[in-house]
Structure 1
Amino acid sequence: MEEKNKITLNEGDFLLVDYEVRIKDTNELLDTNIEEVAKKEKFVKEEIRFEPLLIILGKGYFQKYVEDEIIKNGIELGIKNTIEVPPQFAFGIRDPQKIKVINAKEFSKEGIIPRAGQRVKLGEQEVTIITVSGGRVVVDFNHPLAGKTIVYHIIARKKIEKPEEKVLYLVLRRIKGTKKEKINVKIEENSLTIIFKEDVLDYSELAPALKILLREIDEFMPYITNTKFIIEKEKPKEIQERNLG
């Protein structure tokens, strides 16, 4: 069958995607940015954003195995592309040696009453409690998804080519909650200007986000030698009318 909408991609290309992440054995949903899917399966996640996700291929913006497969094989636009990630490239192979017996006193030191099935933090590591018997607790130091094949359903929405649009989506990725219509990007020769509406100041992590954004602009657009951020404040309509009068 001819793949009419298939595109080839290289490391460093900008791609917008929608996605579902599932456990192959059970089809359990682990992550998604598709609102219909999340609502249907009553999936809840902190800071979930129902909008296409920006991936910069080969730069660690997404699951590495998935990025590598997209670069290797290309991807079809607008349809569901399925990529299976083997355990060794997902959450690791399950290691029997990571199942250990620990004295219950170690949990008491952390203020934990151990119960079978709990996922708790012990020292610097998270563990799963398997059984509790007297003063002995059997725990599993493997990741809960170790040994599982993870399935990624990817819908590629758009390959971003224009420099202004690349900057726009970098901004949207870093400054959570802002909208496209509240950002204006201008590039003239080697100078970049990003104009924000005043409500961008409500974002509590604005300063560190802008620092990361500057680093990304340096990395992905090395020809930009001057970057300027402008915050635009609009006067209330009644003041504008008074000034005109």
Structure 2
Amino acid sequence: MVSAKKGDLVRMEYTGKVAATGMVFDTTDESIAKKSGIWEQSTVYGPKLAVFGSKTIIPGIEEAILSSQLGKSAEFTIGADKAFGEKIPSLIRMMPEREFAKQGVRPVMGMVLALDGMPAMVKSITSGRVVVDFNHPLSGESVHYTLKVTEVISDEKKKLEALLAAAGVKGAVSEKGGKLEISIEKPVDKGKLEQAKRLIAAIVPGTAFA
């Protein structure tokens, strides 16, 4: 069984499908992404790092991680309550089409847009009225996953090395005076460095940058 506790980094490969239809909605496998029509050039495929117990992993997957064996694939189905949540009727709203026109937006069925700072999907357009859904697109759906945990990282130094690599930043991790310190190799992309610093501050607080 995989042993992971809150704050550990879990590296895993996975493919998620809608249980009812078999439609792939997420995967770390580039070949599956291409076959399923969800491939994106900007996506980096391959095993992904996630922080266990941080609520960035859906509850059903966290449970499955603990019941799986390291390095072995497992398949399981997760109900909506432990996946992306049940659909909440109050988050489905009807709005006048003219409200979109005021913002220079022409709503189209299936369009995802930001309203009041929240993502919403256009579900229907009828007689000048637009129905938008603020629920997660997969709310109310059971999902089926194929999952393989390839690594669990508990050591703080190894966490930092993994986070730097995930952010695409080169650097060396050392210990000085009982504290961990990172020396960044230059030149470095400022955007990637800031991303790495945010992740590190949240996951390994107190880390110093030389």
TM-score (norm: length of structure 2): 0.79
Report the Cα offset of residue 111 of structure 1.
Answer: 2.0
Aligned match of 1:129: 123
TM-score (norm: length of structure 1): 0.70
- Alpha-carbon displacement from aligned partner over 1:168-214 (angstroms, at most 9, x marks no partner): 112223xx334xxx433223561323233323x22424246325424
Aligned sequence identity (%): 26
Letter matched to residue 49 of structure 2: L
Distance 1:189 1:54, change over 3 A: farther
Distance 1:99 1:17, change over 3 A: closer
Report the Cα offset of residue 112 of structure 1.
Answer: 2.6
1:80 aligns with 2:81: no
- Which portions of structure 1, spanning 4 or more consecutive aligned residues, are displaced by more than 6 angstroms? none
- The structure with the largest alpha-carbon Rg is 1
> After the TM superposition, which residues 1-245 of structure 1 pair with which residues of structure 2 at under 5 Å, given as runs?
6-45=1-40, 47-71=42-66, 73=67, 75-125=68-118, 126-133=120-127, 135-173=128-166, 176-178=167-169, 182-187=170-175, 190-199=178-187, 201-207=188-194, 209-218=196-205, 227-229=208-210
Q: Which runs of 5+ in 2 are unaligned?
A: none
Which is bigger in relative contact order (C-alpha 8 A, separation at least 6)? 2
Q: Distance in 2 between matches of 1:105 and 1:27?
A: 37
Aligned match of 1:237: none
What number of residue pairs does the alignment pair up? 209
Q: Distance in 2 between matches of 1:161 and 1:124?
A: 36
Q: Which runs of 5+ in 1 are unaligned?
A: 1-5, 219-224, 230-245
Report the Cα offset of residue 147 of structure 1.
Answer: 1.4
